[in-house]
Amino acid sequence: MRQKFGEKYIRYFMGEIMSLPAKNFQTFEKTGYIRNDFLVFGAPAIQEAEINEVVASMKSGWLGTGPKVARFESEFRDYKDARYAVAVNSGTAALHLSMLVSGVKPGDEIITTPLTFSATINAIIHAGGTPVLADVDPVTMNIDPERIEDKITSRTRAILPVHFAGRPCDMDALSDISKRHGLKIIEDCAHAIETEYKGRKAGTEGDFGCFSFYVTKNVATGEGGMVLTRKKEAAVRIKILALHGMSKDAWKRFSDDGYKHYRVVDCGFKYNMMDLQAGIGIHQLRRVEENWKKRRDIWNFYKQCFSHLPIRLPADPEPETRHAYHLFTILVNELETGITRDAFLAAMTRRNIGVGVHYLSIPEHPYYQKTFGWRPKDYPNAMNIGRRTVSLPISPKLNHDDATDVVNAVEDILIHD
């Protein structure tokens, strides 16, 4: 079965004709097939260019914030057609500083999605705001604009949409709400580097666009983040807050221009990006479109291969949008598959395929229950997705054989187990 299946779909995959069956499987009693090596979920595709760039930084002795960070900022800004870009050391830092610079004050409410990583919520809390959740649309898995309207109060200050899995939120509806109610928009673009909505690039439409370059993200620097904004004052303030609140260009104080005194003008944070990280980012960014095409091909391959299985597949991208294909999430409903989501996760791991969960809905976590009184069933769409979802590997590092191994493992579990 393995070989037949592999051959059939390998022809489709990336439009190439390959006759070799995937080689990483060995016959495995009862459960069919198992890879010899573990396929790491979200492994970045690192090449020699990044490695050499980091080595060059190490040899030069300039490891910290420096000229490579400035170059990465300007190249990222150009890629996104943005006005200003400020690099920081994580997506969480990008969110936190954007919130502070938006003028979030204690008691201000920020409306966001329950289907996100905890960092989105924590950043709101750290900025002194109060997170308010509006449930997602069950098909797009993005925040539902109508439910945002229901949650607006006199204390609402901003909307924090997350372009889930790389699918753009309904930005026309969000912009309309923000204009009518005078709200800021801070876009969580951690999944959405390549995302576009009606020709507008994700992260350039809101007041702030926050990106992450964490290892599993579409551009990976290990840890790293970026803020995009249209306002110069906002960019300058973020830059200052990201480096202890020291006046502009303090990072140059040890350069060959001669020592410069800095002035602390704000109580800032230690959120600056290092040249070691930017050096990786510069080369990752050069391959961002190539890697996007690879993930798109894997996405289409999975969609094709899984069309006959009793699982729910991600919806096709909406017209006039560009999906970043950051995650491929299936929904495993026990009533239809005969297997629970958690048993499915374990069965994939047993077959040496790394999987992820994006995400258990935010109200499932004890801290938020205790602090805000949230209950999962009050956000039923996010709850149902969170309890059934499985993310399959879709990294550009996957080759034909790897993707075929994933397909075979899923088939094996759903059809033969």
Ligand X SMILES: *Cc1c(COP(=O)(O)O)cnc(C)c1O
Q: H-helix or E-strand containing 330?
A: strand 328-331
- The answer to whether the CB of 383 falls within 8 A of the CB of 369 is no
Which one of 120, 277, 337, 352 is in contact with ligand X (CB under 6 A)?
120
Closest approach of ligand X to the CB of residue 374, in Å: 18
Between strands 200-201 and 196-197, the pairing is antiparallel
72 forms part of the interface with ligand X (CB under 6 A): no
Residue closest to ligand X when measured from CB atoms? 91
Can you tell me whether residue 23 is helix, strand or coil?
A: coil
For residue 42, give the DSSP letter: T
User: Could you tell me which of 195, 264, 272, 267 has the C-alpha nearest to residue 227?
Assistant: 272
Q: Catalytic annotation on 217?
A: yes
Closest CB to ligand X among 160 and 235?
160
Which one of 32, 42, 66, 91 is in contact with ligand X (CB under 6 A)?
91
Closest approach of ligand X to the CB of residue 363, in Å: 16
Single-letter code of the amino acid located at 275: D
329 forms part of the interface with ligand X (CB under 6 A): no
Closest CB to ligand X among 218 and 404?
218
d(CA 335, CA 120): 32
88 forms part of the interface with ligand X (CB under 6 A): no
162 forms part of the interface with ligand X (CB under 6 A): yes
112 forms part of the interface with ligand X (CB under 6 A): no
Closest approach of ligand X to the CB of residue 209, in Å: 12
214 forms part of the interface with ligand X (CB under 6 A): yes
Closest approach of ligand X to the CB of residue 379, in Å: 16
Which one of 50, 135, 188, 205 is in contact with ligand X (CB under 6 A)?
188
Q: Which of 68, 80, 201, 217 is catalytic?
A: 217
Closest approach of ligand X to the CB of residue 210, in Å: 7
d(CA 81, CA 75): 10
225 forms part of the interface with ligand X (CB under 6 A): yes
395 forms part of the interface with ligand X (CB under 6 A): no
Terminal-to-terminal C-alpha distance of the chain: 14
Closest approach of ligand X to the CB of residue 12, in Å: 30
116 forms part of the interface with ligand X (CB under 6 A): yes
Closest CB to ligand X among 221 and 404?
221
d(CA 139, CA 295): 21
Single-letter code of the amino acid located at 362: I
| Region of 187-195, 232-240, 312-320, 380-388 interacting with ligand X (CB under 6 A) | 187-195
Total residues interacting with ligand X, rule: CB under 6 A = 14
Which one of 5, 9, 25, 117 is in contact with ligand X (CB under 6 A)?
117
| Region of 60-68, 114-122, 280-288, 305-313 interacting with ligand X (CB under 6 A) | 114-122
Q: Output the DSSP codes for 235-285.
A: HHHHHHHHBTTB-TTGGGGGSTT------B-S---B-PPPHHHHHHHHHHH
277 forms part of the interface with ligand X (CB under 6 A): no
Cis-peptide into 302, omega within 30 deg: no
119 forms part of the interface with ligand X (CB under 6 A): yes
Q: Name residues whose C-beta falls within 8 Å of residue 94's C-beta, 6 or more positions apart in sequence.
A: 88, 208, 210, 211, 212, 225, 226, 227
Closest approach of ligand X to the CB of residue 274, in Å: 14
Q: Output the DSSP codes for 164-233.
A: GGGPPP-HHHHHHHHHHHT-EEEEE-TT-TT-EETTEETTSSSSEEEEE-BTTSSS--BS-EEEEES-HH
Closest approach of ligand X to the CB of residue 190, in Å: 3
Single-letter code of the amino acid located at 15: G
Which one of 57, 65, 90, 408 is in contact with ligand X (CB under 6 A)?
90
**Across-strand partners of 312?**
331
Q: Output the DSSP codes for 303-319.
A: HHHTTTSSSBPPPPPPT
Closest CB to ligand X among 273 and 305?
273
Residues that bind ligand X (CB under 6 A): 90-92, 116-117, 119-120, 162, 188, 190-191, 212, 214, 225
Catalytic residue ranges: 217
